[in-house]
Amino acid sequence: MLRALIIVFACLAAGEVFLHLTHLKLPASIVGLLILFGLLKAGWVKEAWFKPMTEFLMQHMMLLMIPACVALMDYFSIVAHDFWSIAAATVASSVLVLLSSAKTHEILRRHK
């Protein structure tokens, strides 16, 4: 599990360095995930190395969500004021992610 954490944080750090050098306006976490994806696809990092960490995170996911829920309760008046616009944005983005994932899967399956 420690090896997986080190790899994830190293990819995040590499993403930070890449963004610092290129001055791109992207989240470092996204760039880090792309780096990790590249390492996995290249075979330099094995998927099995992450299994203990992912199982641990899945078992304790509810604990990881508590701070977000508490923060949501702190800002309930703001959320309530803009509820419909937030709901519409959530539904629209979910549909877009679903459609783009389906299309990507379709394209990748066709090339396999």
- Confidence (pLDDT) at 51: 92
Query: Mean pLDDT for each 10-residue chunk of the chain (112 residues)?
Result: 91 95 92 94 92 89 83 84 92 96 92 74
Q: Find the domain containing 108 and state its range.
A: 66-112
Whether 42 and 74 share a structural domain: no
Whether 10 and 55 share a structural domain: yes
- Confidence (pLDDT) at 12: 95
Whether 49 and 78 share a structural domain: no
Whether 2 and 53 share a structural domain: yes
Whether 47 and 80 share a structural domain: no
The answer to whether 3 and 49 are in contact (CB under 8 A) is yes
Whether 54 and 87 share a structural domain: no
Whether 54 and 78 share a structural domain: no
Tokens of 64: 């990881």
Number of structural domains, the chain? Answer: 2
Residues 108, 4: Cα–Cα separation, whole Å: 27
Tokens of 93: 């983005």
Cβ neighbors of 104 (< 8 A, separation 6 or more) are: none
Whether 10 and 42 share a structural domain: yes
